[in-house]
Amino acid sequence: MLPSSSSKLKLSFDTVFYYVTDMEASIAFYRDTLGLQLVSHDYVARFDLDGVLIELVRLPPGSVVPGNGNARLCFSVENLQETLEQMHARGIATSDIKNKKGGKLAYFRDPDGNELCLWEYAEPEDAREIVKSAVLRG
């Protein structure tokens, strides 16, 4: 028998992770190029970004990442154009800026080809309002 739809699952956020083939190159990219803080490194590399745990997990040789993967890590920035100029100066290729409802974005890839995103809110208050609205509904 299934539980009633009124009972809530007790879930808490753990991490966002990407499979990588070259752990050292990936650590260098996320730590040195993107500036994320490496907080631990054993069989996975863990980074902290504003209290969110981001992990890099070594893909065993001969393994294939399952599925086609449509998830991506998205970084919020205050000035997308300026951030893209800084990334280009570091040798990181990016997409052109795309205007979307609520802001604008650009994509880039890590050493394993994982797609990452940069997002600039149209109005700086948008991010706080979205979070506030989600908390009030939850």
Question: What's the domain count of the chain?
Answer: 2
Q: Tell me if 53 sits within 8 A of 46, measured CB to CB.
A: yes
80 and 130 in a common domain: yes
pLDDT at residue 55 greater than cutoff 80 = yes
pLDDT digits (tens, 9 = 90+) for 96-132: 999 988 899 999 999 988 889 999 998 865 555 655 5
129 and 82 in a common domain: yes
Q: Which structural domain, as residue segments, surrounds residue 42?
A: 12-60
Question: Does residue 6 lie within any of the structural domains?
Answer: no
Position with higher pLDDT, 65 vs 5: 65
Cα 123 from Cα 76, distance rounded (Å): 12
The residues near 2 (Cβ < 8 Å, ≥ 6 apart) are none
**How does residue 62 score in pLDDT terms, banded at 50, 70 and 90?**
confident
Residue 60's pLDDT is 84
**How does residue 64 score in pLDDT terms, banded at 50, 70 and 90?**
confident
- Reading the block at residue 54, the tokens are 């981001």
Question: Does residue 67 lie within any of the structural domains?
Answer: no
pLDDT at residue 134 greater than cutoff 70 = no
130 and 87 in a common domain: yes
- Reading the block at residue 71, the tokens are 């998830």
Please, what is the average pLDDT of the chain?
84
**How does residue 68 score in pLDDT terms, banded at 50, 70 and 90?**
low
